[in-house]
Amino acid sequence: MKQLYGSAIIVSGPSGVGKSTLCGKALQALPEIKFSISCTTRNPRGSEQNGVEYFFLSHQEFEKRIANDEFVEHAEVFGNYYGTLKSQLLDPVKNGYDVFLDIDIQGAMQIREACKKDQLLANVCEFIFIVPPSLQILEARLRGRATDSEEQLALRIGKAKHELSFANLYDYIIVNDNLELAAEEMLSLISSFKLSTKRRQWEE
């Protein structure tokens, strides 16, 4: 059996859905998986380090990389640029490693479009969307954690509703109700990706 490529696992979900906790939990069990380090123009927070959580770039540097066609996708999120370098996605998968991308919906949809014109991308990408058990529960979670005003909260909830309308454009949906169960579902999806004939070939 010849393993041709790893998988590029693209994960999105609305804010408040618990995506970071869920992904963190699932990825702990997969030390060999690579994490795609995005570029961003936002400032580092807390203990974040350049080249670890993100590559922190100036607007000018980011725009230079757009002009050089270095991104497989890029988008503006909360007033800052975020983008995935082609090298971050393609280098690991070409070497047989899985790579994990935590990106927003605009970025995921750009990669979806790019897959239509690029066979290698189409062969390696898998799209997972995380949803809450219900809108009411998402709203309660957003209220619970936020120090937001009613107005900001209404904006977040409106945005989350809009984002949930994209769920069916992904390949897989994970409901984040029970964290343990959702993490197990993510792990079993990721291990099944390896078996796809898009990425492995039977050879005598």
Place of tokens 């078996």: 195
Give the nearest distance from C-beta 179 to ligand 5GP in angstroms: 18
Q: Which is nearer to ligand 5GP, 47 or 197 (CB)?
A: 47
* Shortest Å distance, C-beta 74 to ligand 5GP: 6
Q: Mention every residue, 6+ apart, whose C-beta is less than 8 A from residue 77.
A: 104, 106
Pick 53 or 184: Cβ nearer ligand 5GP:
53
Question: Six-digit token pair at 50?
Answer: 């350049």
- Total H helices, total E strands in the chain: 8, 11
Task: Using the minimum distance from each CB to ligand 5GP, give the nearer residue, 3 or 159.
Answer: 159
What type of residue sits at position 141? R
Minimum distance from CB of 200 to ligand 5GP (Å)? 28
For ligand 5GP, the closer of residues 26 and 103 by Cβ is 103
The site for ligand 5GP (CB under 6 A) is made up of 38, 42, 73, 75, 77, 82-84, 102-104, 106-107
Closest distance to ligand 5GP from the beta carbon of 14 (Å): 9
Tokens 């809009």 label which residue?
A: 162
> Can you give the three-state secondary structure of 157-175, one letter per residue?
HHHHHHHHCCHHHCCEEEE
